[in-house]
Every structure is written in structure tokens, then in C-alpha cells.
Chains A and B, each alone.
Chain A
Amino acid sequence: MTAVARLAAPERALAALAGAVTRGDRARPAAAREPEPPGGASQETPSVELRTDLVPRDAVRLVVVDAAGDAPPGLERFAALPRLLRAGDLVVVNDAATLPAALPGRTAAGRVFELRLSGPVDGGRLSGVLFGPGDHRTRTEHRAPPPALAAGDAVLIAGSAATVLCAAGRRVELAILGDADAAWRAVYAAGAPVQYAHRSELLPLWSVQTAYAGRPWAAEMPSAGRPLTWDIVLGLARAGIAVAALTHAAGLSSTGDDALDHALPWPERYEIPERTAAAVSATRARGGRVIAIGTSVVRALEAVAQDGELRTGRRGIATVRLDAAYRPRLVSGLVSGLHVPGESHFELLSAFAPADRLRAALSFAATHGLSGHELGDACLIVRR
């Protein structure tokens, strides 16, 4: 992409890359990594294929899934959201900004690697996953193994001297020489956002931020909120639908390592402000619904719901796992990207709707040519 094209129409220019943008790591089907066992689920049900192009924010479409009733799936523009919810509902977003989480590194012996941050800078410490040489054009699972690091090793991270604090396989924690400010400077000077595609040019940092992004806590974009423009946020407010924010340190969606991937998502830090806790409480008291924009919001709110009602502001570490067996206690509905059976994200969605209804909705999405890219189209799933 040329700078000129970007200046002319940023999102359109990005979308023009779409031909080159292929399915991202997070959206990659499990089948691409490992063969399906004989008689696996994918053989029982016809597979669903979605397009995988990047969709400009203002062109995102929304598949509406009625999880509780038996209405067929509907198709709307994302901008119709205020009309699709009810006065008295509460929409909760994750206001974490996306980090330039992919950092170049080099060992004392001169071997290069990539450190992919799994969460925000903590003091002068960086935590994440190591990748071998290569760039975003190589699928994570095809990257060469990184050099082995051990506690005490001196390395260069993003051009700054750092010491390995601990290493367990490809997971590592390092301390940048200097204070926390030095770590933030290094991350933003040399880091790039985690990419979803190969063959394309790098997605710039601005293209993976929501319109309300604040503190840089997210290793990957809380992308369900990408189409949520201020026009829509203020439209929700005018329709009597409150909007509130929490901050959740959405982590990596893929490590390129099956054993590590199976344990995803790792425990993630969240912070729910007093104001948002009060809004959730008031919404539930009047019988309104809490609608989460993205699974990271679900994870933070449900982490709190494990201990009872959300009455005051809270900060903590979310460990809750969302899958078909999980029944949300606090969240009534979810806006998410589209994910087909076989993707790990599909399991998260199945906490909100039976798998057969989700499959029907995804077939419907495929019929209408919707995109299953992380930066593609979306769905609204409401349980009641």
C-alpha cells in the first residue's frame, strides 16, 4: 500500500489489499493444523466456508442470531445496532487499545527471533511468546523454532538491552534495562501489531484500534468493536441504550504451538470501572440485557459473575473458559466476528447459542457472502 492510497481513503485502501489478505491466524481452521480424526464433527455436518477479506468499518454487516426463539437468522448493516437492541439494554465495550505486540529480538550470539507480547508492559517487564526468524508472511505454525532462552540470558528486544527473567519453552518473561518508560518507548519504537494475514503489507497500528481505545492492554485487537463508530455509539445512547466500557487485556489468539494453543486463552487482566459496574447492576435490576461487544468483554464480566453480582468496580485476572458447556450468568448477548465450526472462537460463541443454530447462521452468512476475517463482518447473538 502506498502512502498516497492510505491518505486518500484509509479503510478502502486497506480493503483493497483484501485480495492479498488471507485467513488470519486467529481465524484459521483447526483442520489446517492437524488432521481431523475419523468420524470427527466436520464429517457429520457440511463445512461452512466464509470469505476472508477485510471489510471497511462502515461496510460491516451483522448476522442477527435469535438464540432463544426460533426466528431465522437476519441480515442487517452494523449501523442498525441501535434498532436491534431495546431501550434499557446496556452495551459494554472493551476499551483496551491494541499494542504493537510483535517485537524484534536478538540473542547475544546474534540469533534473531520475534517476541510477541501476550499482555501489556508490566513495569519494565515484557511477557509473551517467542517465534523463530520470519515475518507475518509465514503462518505462525510454519515459523522456525526460536532460539532457546534461559533465565539470566542477555538479549536485545526492540533495540533495547533486556534480561530473561524466566523461560518455559516458548513462553518467556524479560526485563528491559531501564524503567517502565524505557519499555514503553522500545515497544512503540520497534513493535508492529500482530498481523492476521500473509502476503499482504503490514496492517498499520491505527487500523487495529477501536474508536474508543484507551490504555494499550490488548495483544490483539478487540475486533468486535471495530465497526462501532461514534455515530453508532451516540445513536445507541439516543435510543435509550447505555454504553459502558471495561478494559480487558485480550491476549494472543495463536502461538503457533498446538500445546500452547490448547491452553488459550491464558489468564487475562481486566478492570471494570465503578461507573460500568453501576450500569451493569442497574440494567439487571430493571430487567435489561447486558450486551457484550466481543468475547473479551464476556470474559471479564463472567469472571466477576463467578463470585456473584457485580456491584462495585473490580480489577482481577480472568480465567473463565467459554464453551458450549458454559452458561453465561451476567451477559445476555454478544457481538462478535463470524467464526466457522472448527475454529476455537466458534466454541466461545456456542456458550450463547446451540451449535446447530450457529451453523445455520453461518451458512446463512456464507450464502450472503459475508467475511469471516477477524477484521470482517459480525454477528449479534442474543439469548433472551
Chain B
Amino acid sequence: MKIQGQGALVTGASRGLGRALAELLAARGARVALVAREVAALDDVVAGIRARGGEAHAIAGDIADKTATHRIAGQAQGMVGELALAIHNASTLGPTPLRLLLDTECEDLAAVLETNLIGPFRLTKVLAGAMAIRGGGVIVHVSSDAAVEPYPRWGAYGASKAAQDHLSRILAAELDGTGVRVLAVDPGEMDTAMHAAAIPDADRAALSRPAEVAARIVEMIEDEVRAPSGARLVAPRWELA
């Protein structure tokens, strides 16, 4: 899919990878709806994109809030028109410091699933139908290696991402033939606020910059051959064209 002229939605777009993706998509000529909870930070990102001549629109909202689903979808498509691309980037670790599963409150696991799995499902349910009936679109789920590796203390987050990976695969299978492509992407370890919250003593110099990872993900979105529907891709292993 070419990016130029497309309508795109990015969740968790006020910082980190979401911000980098929104900025890159806008720089490539997409009309971008940015969704985040933090209005002030979101407005700053939107203002920055507009100052560089890009098209960006701020939508305040929490993916975990069921009642916000149709408002977010409606505002996004009102502001940018048809959506050809939706990137589920918003996610939460749950309480930090990260803790063992047996020390995790049931409510905290439920809250992590709400943001990382059920919220994206609800938004996809509202957005993907219009893509499929029109014969095209791309849905990206931002995953993690914690979806695959059983890291101690990453139980709530890892389980939510593993479930999201499988949701992505099944959605791809069900939408086979409609022209809608569904991807899961592990971005690798990035120098973000989320990473700092999870691993405060990490060597930041060894971490990827969100902008570099965003460039890889945008290439995946563009490359239907190397990034077919149903694929789970690992950004650090993606060879830039």
C-alpha cells in the first residue's frame, strides 16, 4: 500500500513509537488521526506535524474505554475521511515495577487485557468492515518479544501481546480475499518511556530509536510481498529495502 494520500489512524500517538509512526506517515503524505489519552502532549505532536506541512488531527481517547470506541472511529473518519490504515500501538505494561504473576492483582491483568487486547479488537471491529467492503486496508498490531518469550514478571503484558498476535493471525485468515492485510509487528527494544518504566537500568545507547523502527514498520506496510497478511514480523530483523 502506498502511503501518500491515505487516511491513517495511530493509537498511543502522543509519544514513543506511536508518535514516530504518526510523524513519518504524515511526512509521507498520509492524513493522520492521532489517538492518545494525554491531550496536551497529543496537541504538541499534532502542532509539530502541521508546522512541517503534514496533515494531523488530535483525538483524545482511551482505547480501554469501551464507550469511546465509536466516538474515536467517527471522529477519525470525519476528520481524515476513509481510513486505509489503522495501527494499534497504544499499550500498557500494567503496574510497574513489573511483578510476578502470583503477585499480580486480577484487576490489573484485566486492565492490561482491556488496553492491549480488547480495546484494539473493539476498534478493529468498527474500522475493518469499511476497509473490507471497499476492498483494501492495512491493520497493524504492535507486538513484543514478550509475546513469545516467557520472561518472568512480564506475565500480564506478555499474555496480552501473545493473545493479540493470535487475534491478528485469525483476523487475517478471516479477511483473506477481502484485500485487507493484517500484521503483527515486534518493534524490538526501543528507547521509550515504556521501556524505561519496565527496565529502568537499561543501557539506553543499546536501544533502537523509535523513528528508526517506525521507518521499518512503514516499509512493511508498503511491502505486500515481504509482509503478507497474517505475518508476525520482527522489526530489528527486517532488512530495509
* Interface residues, chain A, with chain B CB atoms under 8 Å away: 93, 95, 97, 99-100, 120-121, 180-181, 184-185, 187-189, 205-206, 209-216, 230, 233-234, 237, 243-245, 273, 275
Contact = CB atoms under 8 A, between A and B. Distances in A.
A95 B69 contact: no
Contact of B130 (A95, A187, A189): A95
The main secondary structure of chain B at its interface with chain A is: helix
Contact of B70 (A93, A205, A214): A205
A109 B132 CA distance: 48
Contacts of B71: 188-189, 205
A-B pairs with the 9 shortest C-beta distances? A214-B130, A212-B129, A212-B133, A184-B78, A188-B71, A245-B133, A205-B70, A216-B74, A215-B77
B188 interface: no
A216 B78 contact: yes
Given A185-B75, A205-B74, A209-B70, 6 more contacts: A188-B71, A188-B74, A212-B132, A215-B81, A230-B129, A237-B177
B200 interface: no
Interface of B: 57-58, 69-71, 73-75, 77-79, 81-83, 126, 129-130, 132-135, 174, 177-178
Contacts of B77: 97, 214-216
B75 A95 contact: no
A275 B74 CA distance: 23
A275 B75 contact: no
Contacts of B82: 214-215
A245 B70 contact: no
A247 to B, nearest CB: 9
Give chain A's interface secondary structure class: mixed
B133 A233 contact: yes
A244 B179 CA distance: 13
Contact of A181 (B58, B74, B134, B178): B58
A233 B129 CA distance: 10
B74 A93 contact: no
A97 B74 contact: yes
Contact of A275 (B81, B134, B178): B134
A181 to B, nearest CB: 5
A213 B79 contact: no
Given A181-B57, A206-B69, A213-B129, A120 B78 contact: yes
A215 B129 contact: no
A187 B71 CA distance: 9
Contacts of B130: 95, 97, 212-215, 245
A275 B133 contact: no
A95 B133 contact: yes
Contacts of A206: 69-70
B133 A188 contact: no
B50 to A, nearest CB: 11
A173 B187 CA distance: 48
Contacts of B134: 95, 214, 245, 273, 275
Most A C-beta atoms less than 10 A away, residue of B77, B81, B133: B133
A319 to B, nearest CB: 24
Which of A185, A273, A275: most chain B Cβ within 10 A?
Answer: A185
